[in-house]
Amino acid sequence: MARTAGSNGTRTLESIRKAGLRLIYRQGYEAMSLRQLASEVGIQAGSLYNHISTKQDLLFDLIRVHMEELIDRLDKTLEGVAGPSDKLDAFIRFHVEYHIARKREVFISYSELRSLEPKNYDAIVELRARYERRLIAVLDDGVAAGVFATADTTVAAFGILAMLTGVCTWFKPGGRMTKDEVIAVYTGLVRDGLARDADKPKAISPPPPPPAGGAPGA
């Protein structure tokens, strides 16, 4: 049969992306075979190539689109918020909510970095750095305004991001804690961690080198 009635290309591509996301999340990029992916979509393996160009390209596309949307939405969220404290709160809420909602995209964006070919890898690391710079800027503003105190805003940002991101590894909606409760706990941890008080170490001069982005190859 040449074409399953009622199907069409756009819908098939979306099925492929959705199934691909699920499988890469569950098994890893290397462990997912295109035959398995095709079977989930309900087509033959070869038919995938009417929609994607290579397996690598599918991975890159999934991660890139996710990162771009992450940044877009963050920008829209922070747009209407004024003052470092409120911006930090908004960032925390946004980050946690988005990372809970897009658990799988988030996960593969970290864990499959090493499966990306160099050119694609570079592109994603740059997107990631762009996102991190948003938080660093908020912290810098807060320090400048005297609301936050930290020895190094870049290191602090990495610490905060690692902690917040960690949530998506264990949070289960419908579990005993609501999303808002989690956010409250983390907001407390971060706010107090940055609270300005006398006995904090002062800044250790220039900011640290940017991280490799979690990629082990670096």
Partner DNA sequence: CATGAATGAGAGTTCATTCAT
Partner DNA sequence: CATGAATGAACTCTCATTCAT
**Chain residues that interact with DNA, rule: CB under 7 A:** 1-5, 7-10, 12, 32-36, 42-51, 54-56
Query: With CB cut-offs between 5 and 8 Å by kind, which of DNA, a copy of itself, none does residue 145 bind?
Result: none
Find the binder of a copy of itself among 95, 104, 127, 179 (CB under 8 A): 104
Cα–Cα distance between 157 and 13 in angstroms, integer? 37
Cα–Cα distance between 16 and 18 in angstroms, integer? 5
Cα–Cα distance between 212 and 128 in angstroms, integer? 10
Cα–Cα distance between 139 and 85 in angstroms, integer? 9
Which ranges of the chain would DSSP assign to H, the alpha helix? 9-27, 34-41, 55-79, 84-101, 103-111, 118-145, 153-166, 179-194
List the x/- string, 39-78, binding to a copy of itself by CB under 8 A: ----------------------------------------
Q: How far is the CB of 6 from a copy of itself (least distance, A)?
A: 20
> Which residues bind to a copy of itself, rule: CB under 8 A?
25-28, 30-31, 104, 107, 111, 114-115, 150-152, 155-156, 158-163, 165-167, 169-170, 172, 175-177, 181-182, 184-186, 188-190, 192-195, 197, 200-201, 204-214, 216-217
